Structure 1
């Protein structure tokens, strides 16, 4: 069943009516438990293409973004109601048509990058006990659909979701998403998988977290109607080996196939993912292993992230058909050396046995480093500066490049 825009509006109207029927308690919990913040994000992105005969030498864009996030509390009473508002707006500081390609900005009709873009998303919500219904627009972060937030503005989705924590240790979900606004677009469009489109992504999921909070089990199922269906099982486990050492494991397995009328053709995928991290004092050493099986690559709605895959990076998820990949990663927190707020991450990921059209055994590698600093005190407290440097090399697709990203983020608490 597809919840079209009319159905969403009717549900939203019912929630508003519930608010209005509780005038005496409307402001109390709604305002007192509200949070609101404005995040200023300055994003500079430059990519240098090194592959021979590539159509352009560089892609360079620079934006200033404003992301307003208001999350109200709930009115008092048996059924509490509230509203979440997500406003996002970005202004171009640099980036002509000849340098377009960083995907920070959309293109205008004349082919030039837009001078600015943004949208306002609203989600109405109602709560009964520990069960919450949300209808409208928001950023889902789920194993089978994750809104991308790696550019100027975050991706958002429109739909409805029911979540519940009424069962101890469990958070249960059921929902349907109908449309999406990409990270470099202000419009709301049908969901896509390649050139195939659908107006409904249905999902069910459950997360179990142990009393110690050291174990998390995730069970999920999703269906992009008439395109694909996908299941996921995951396990996160943390062991405290000593006062100075911890071991973290993240194991995940996806499997899926085509659905209904199979608008994208026959699909068959199984993706296994494992990340192991050993933390010793301020140092963390990690190994990532990932294998894609079946005739097609890992399945996801166009524009979404792959953060639940071990070898997902800022640039790539190593999720091509038949691809086997491994990762070596090192993280350092400088707080133990008298420099709180300073951090370093560097990793190398290599994938092999890629099977694409006319590619029988492709290989690729990514090297990425991030140096970040968060100001700890004073008038600029919480201002974060991140520099990301990366190189991508492939023996297929003629798409080698080096890149730099500089991101300044400053959160301002309003409520």
Structure 2
């Protein structure tokens, strides 16, 4: 019961239009009972259920800053700047996965090799790479590189699985992010238990992250912080579906010496989308400082509410988001741990910020073109106020830079997108997605003013 697929993530808003083909959503209560079957009892065997396959993704992005903004790069020991940055990478994942052995305790292994081939190697174009193209200390692109993206062993009893090693994990706080040529992954131990019909439990302890555009493992740091690192993230949560139409999720996480964070999310569906359906999503985060307070003193409450109306092929969605705190709503870097309605190119997460988004999507299957979807959105944020931020009060080495200069800052973002998924043939499920986004910020708003065009083609393949 992953709430991320229901949240309003604008460039994936087409997921909401899928409800346009559902029947009237039942509001019946779902009793909690033991799961009717045991996944382990149906295990086929270590070799018998072996699979080999993966995906290859062509990821292209061109960005342009404006209103005085520039990117910088080094050439012959000199710092040069211009408005543009281009990254073009082919990322390929080859995944080998065994089946579970038979018996009371099943065992399986999973290994995935990640490979990146840089198609645009110009130092001027990639601007040092950031989290898009891997570059060396001189700013030159690493032409080709590989790593173990996944390497784990799994143990299963009944419907409960324990995973140890490098792995994917998905929750409202710690979530694999896959919006580059290659995704991130985490190193540690986790479990997933689905012993009940409508109630599941998840948890994990992780000490390293495998970044999207790096070869080596890294310690965890935050998306908006100034470089502090931690080597322990612990999380535990529950997913519960009390009604056929209502899904909820609650997770807590301890990020050692950074913060304790708590997440609650709920999605509810009502009506018949052939006539008129309503999808409501609510997400709430509470973050408080912890331990050595490496990110300074934090007391932050952030929430979002989205309302999506669907009629056949059409979807119109409204999202409101509010940050109550004198610091950013922050989350772990190299994760997708931000299930907020207005997390777009900008996260709309400035201190005390309020934001509103309106989005439209259409699924062309209703008009005889299955697999083709379009979307457009516009979002505005206002009231950003970091003047009351007290910094670290001498307690920590790292803090949020420049936040106290944000006084009444505002920004706006709009975007359009189109995607197509092949419905049949040898390339079935291949997806092509093009997006254009423009963001404009006031003088001290942290994201600046930037335009970006992306073209991403993802091709899945099976070998065995």
TM above 0.5, yes or no, is yes
- The whole-number CA distance in structure 2 between the counterparts of 1:338 and 1:180 is 43
Q: Is the 2:384–2:407 Cα contact (8 Å) retained in structure 1?
A: yes
- Alpha-carbon offset, residue 155 of structure 1: 0.9
Where does residue 55 of structure 2 map in the other structure?
Answer: 39
After superposition, the Cα gap between the structure-2 partners of 1:334 and 1:163, relative to the gap in structure 1 and judged at 3 Å, is: same
* In 2, Cα distance between equivalents of 1:29 and 1:116: 36
Give CA-to-partner distance per residue, 1:11-58, whole Å, 9 cap, x none: xxxxxxxxxxxxxx9x95223334442211011110011121523221
Whose relative contact order is higher, 1 or 2, with alpha carbons under 8 Å and at least 6 apart? 2
Aligned to 1:18: none
Segment drifting more, 115-124 vs 338-347: 115-124
Cα root mean square deviation, aligned: 1.9
Question: In the alignment, does 2:232 pair up with 1:203?
Answer: no
Structure 2 spans left out of the alignment, 5+ residues: 1-40, 71-80, 386-402
Give the Cα–Cα distance (whole angstroms) in 2 for the partners of residues 336 and 142 of structure 1.
33
Q: How does 1:209-248 map to 2 (within 5 A)?
A: 209-210=241-242, 212=244, 214-241=245-272, 243-248=274-279
Residue 109 of structure 1 deviates from its aligned partner by 2.6
Within the candidate set 84, 94, 101, 2:110 is matched to 84
Task: Please say if 1:380 is aligned against 2:427.
Answer: yes
Q: Do the aligned partners of 1:274 and 1:310 also contact (CA within 8 Å) in 2?
A: yes
1:306 and 1:317 in contact (8 A); partners too? no
TM-score with structure 1 length normalisation?
0.89
What secondary structure sits across from 1:98 in the alignment? helix
State which of 129, 133, 138 in structure 1 corresponds to 2:162.
133
Structure ranking higher in strand proportion: 1
Indicate the residue corresponding to 2:178 in structure 1: 149
Q: Which residue of 2 aligns with 1:16?
A: none
- Distance of 1:242 and 1:185 partners within structure 2: 43
Cα shift readout 1:239-276 (whole Å, capped 9, x = no counterpart): 13464332111101110111011111111111011111
TM-score (norm: length of structure 2) = 0.80
Asked whether the equivalents of residues 221 and 232 of structure 1 are also in contact (C-alpha less than 8 Å), the reply is yes
Partner of 2:326: 295
- Counterparts of residues 173-192 of structure 1 (less than 5 Å): 173-192=202-221
Q: How far is the alpha carbon of 1:306 from its aligned partner?
A: 4.7
Deviations 1:97-156 (A, max 9, x none): 212256321111322121122311201110111111100112222101122211111011
Contact 2:108 2:153 in 1 (8 A): yes
2:376–2:416: 8 Å Cα contact kept in structure 1?
A: yes
Tell me, yes or no, if the aligned pair for 2:274 and 2:311 is still in contact at 8 Å: no
Q: Are 2:273 and 2:312, in contact at CA under 8 Å, matched by a contact in 1?
A: no
